[in-house]
Structure 1
């Protein structure tokens, strides 16, 4: 039964009345239906729909949409059509100018889209490469090895506690974080939000007394001691510099093993093994005693560890550079929109 839905036709503009203050709108390129929670606008013949789609996402207009929305909190704000239709904004007098602005921004969006696909393809390549460079569950030989190690034999199965020492960090509270603090620090939640397998630059700082904290050694591998899910907790980062304060709820592993190699290994083919030993449901814990018993296959030669780590970290550098290009393009578009559309008019 489609009677409660709204019909949409090509070049109609659809907006989410509950999220217009976030710029939730777009142009339809097909005929179809949408939920009655949405508002459908059919531009008159002299108006260019893609111009308006971009214009509705302009910062100045989003601020107006916020002011005209009704509701107690942002979660309940709603921009009803009578309020929306009463908003006054400056409009180009010539349709050609609308078309030119829309074409400029849509062309840039195509470039951004291509760059986003490139970044995603590199990330997928890395994911597949990690699966090949480390042994699969129950195996002791990776499917892909560098030529000089193909005759080196199977990897040796060891327990994590046999090849290194595991300790815990010390608490660094949110109030201890200072933007201009003298001591770099890492809190466990940042492993989920800021860091990949290798930490070279630290995002947080503190003025807490170093004598009351645990400071990193070069090549330390840090693993969260708690998290929201068993899959998420199976993450790790190698701290490549010494003297970084490591917060509580962090397991710290130190060994002669290449730390970057181990961090990639944990985030790759060891992820499932770690999730199996983690305990808890609403809050998941990963204890030192559990990590010590974790079995993993280790390459017989340290140089193989180093080669794998270098291969993946080099790929991460490429991904980082291409991600920076993507961010730069997005910032270019944001700045361009500021220039192409008028500022607030009283």
Structure 2
């Protein structure tokens, strides 16, 4: 254990000072591998439920410990094995294939999965008493920790880490256990918030998916399974394009063709890369045009709030709506629909284009190999089922608009928390 010069993080909890120390991992933790012997589980031993979770690559990912699709072994099989059984506080490190993924067998995880074993593509890092395991886990996730993992991994087709290289891997940690615990607890709180928002986000996505199936007619039907009170009767089948006054499509238009170029700021260009399913990603492929470019590009074709946007290729079929009354440039591989207001409502159109049945229709029409796309000509052959009563359309559209708003709020919060965590991992470790 030796003290380094300037071995101090940029951000620190109040009341702590002094140099951090650099340790070989084996001096503060035991590095253990799993059982590779005759009793190693084969396909016949693995079950979808059971006594002991037998960890696979799907359980330890870049997002940490995941309990989605899992495989189990019996208690008898587990007892017949040697190394690799987890105890509370263990850190799991993936050592083959996608190396460097970290899972922490915390109290919360162990309550859900009281018995677990690692497979042969993982290592266990079991902290000794003088070190808080949570701070070791977070150091391994930090940019400094990941960089060191990259340096000791080998192999190109299937990168690997050895037990020996991980044992001699160096970690930088505060000397005082109290500081270690504060850092670990802080990141636990961040991770808990991230998990909570992720669960709410995923739940809302599942609700939306279920409602899309129930509130729209299935293939061959003319009425949906679920309906708002007061509405009945068959939906009307129409040509999709009959619902539009016009389609705004600047296919092939670029700043250079207008004798200009993008600017550092100004009006955001909405392209197929920042029109996502249900929202606009303001950070993806962000190009901007100044007033002169906007006037030349959009004159007489100005977009308005809630207007439906549709990506025609790369990727094909993403649907979003203009989020506000700000001015935007309609850019590559994205079109906008100007609806006939007596026939179809903007929010309903957005949901209709996102529905599973419509997405399947669009996929069947798409052309191209790696970059599939649809043209206005192919859209002309598409029929759509629409409620005759514009009020029913409005109710359906508003419901999904509210769902999309909640989904976007949770996604925004997830992105914000993820950025905070990444910044803290960079600043709170050395």
Query: Which TM-score band applies after superposition, normalised by the shorter structure?
Result: 0.7 to 0.9
State the partner residue of 2:173: 91
From 221, 225, 249, the equivalent of 1:139 is: 221
Moved more, 114-123 or 162-171: 162-171
State the partner residue of 2:101: 24
CA distance, structure 2, for counterparts of residue 263 and residue 45 of structure 1: 57
From 143, 146, 156, the equivalent of 2:236 is: 156
From 224, 244, 249, the equivalent of 1:168 is: 249
Moved more, 330-339 or 218-227: 330-339
Moved more, 96-105 or 288-297: 96-105
Does residue 206 of the first structure (1) align with residue 262 of the second (2)?
no
After superposition, the Cα gap between the structure-2 partners of 1:201 and 1:216, relative to the gap in structure 1 and judged at 3 Å, is farther
CA distance, structure 1, for counterparts of residue 169 and residue 273 of structure 2: 43
Contact (CA 8 Å) 2:91, 2:125: kept in 1 or not?
yes
After superposition, the Cα gap between the structure-2 partners of 1:243 and 1:100, relative to the gap in structure 1 and judged at 3 Å, is closer
State the partner residue of 1:305: 393
Does residue 197 of the first structure (1) align with residue 278 of the second (2)?
yes
Contact (CA 8 Å) 2:153, 2:161: kept in 1 or not?
yes
After superposition, the Cα gap between the structure-2 partners of 1:86 and 1:198, relative to the gap in structure 1 and judged at 3 Å, is closer
State the partner residue of 1:264: 351
Contact (CA 8 Å) 2:307, 2:322: kept in 1 or not?
yes
Contact (CA 8 Å) 1:234, 1:274: kept in 2 or not?
yes
Contact (CA 8 Å) 1:170, 1:213: kept in 2 or not?
no
State the partner residue of 2:31: none
* TM-score of the aligned structures, taking structure 1 as reference length: 0.76
Task: Give the secondary structure class of the aligned counterpart of 2:318.
Answer: coil
Contact (CA 8 Å) 1:172, 1:187: kept in 2 or not?
no
CA distance, structure 1, for counterparts of residue 91 and residue 311 of structure 2: 46
1:265 Cα deviation from its structure 2 partner: 0.8
1:234 Cα deviation from its structure 2 partner: 3.1
* CA RMSD after TM alignment: 3.8
1:329 Cα deviation from its structure 2 partner: 4.2
* TM-score of the aligned structures, taking structure 2 as reference length: 0.63
State the partner residue of 1:35: 120
State the partner residue of 2:202: 120
1:286 Cα deviation from its structure 2 partner: 0.8
Alignment length (residue pairs):
328
CA distance, structure 1, for counterparts of residue 397 and residue 213 of structure 2: 14
Contact (CA 8 Å) 2:274, 2:281: kept in 1 or not?
no
Give the structure with the larger helix fraction.
1
Could you give the per-residue CA deviations for residues 124-165 of structure 1, whole angstroms, max 9, x where no partner exists? 1122223233222222222333324x14x3221100122223
Could you give the per-residue CA deviations for residues 189-227 of structure 1, whole angstroms, max 9, x where no partner exists? 333xxx333559795422473465354433543322224
Contact (CA 8 Å) 1:235, 1:271: kept in 2 or not?
no
1:110 Cα deviation from its structure 2 partner: 3.1
Moved more, 313-322 or 88-97: 88-97
After superposition, the Cα gap between the structure-2 partners of 1:93 and 1:236, relative to the gap in structure 1 and judged at 3 Å, is closer
Contact (CA 8 Å) 2:270, 2:334: kept in 1 or not?
no
Task: Give the secondary structure class of the aligned counterpart of 1:213.
Answer: helix
After superposition, the Cα gap between the structure-2 partners of 1:178 and 1:13, relative to the gap in structure 1 and judged at 3 Å, is same
1:33 Cα deviation from its structure 2 partner: 3.7
Matches within 5 A, 1:5-84: 7-11=83-87, 12-17=90-95, 24-27=101-104, 30-36=115-121, 38-66=122-150, 68-69=151-152, 84=166
Task: Give the secondary structure class of the aligned counterpart of 2:221.
Answer: coil
From 278, 303, 311, the equivalent of 1:217 is: 303
Task: Give the secondary structure class of the aligned counterpart of 1:272.
Answer: helix
Contact (CA 8 Å) 1:197, 1:238: kept in 2 or not?
yes
Contact (CA 8 Å) 1:198, 1:260: kept in 2 or not?
no
State the partner residue of 1:238: 321
Task: Give the secondary structure class of the aligned counterpart of 1:284.
Answer: coil
After superposition, the Cα gap between the structure-2 partners of 1:323 and 1:186, relative to the gap in structure 1 and judged at 3 Å, is closer
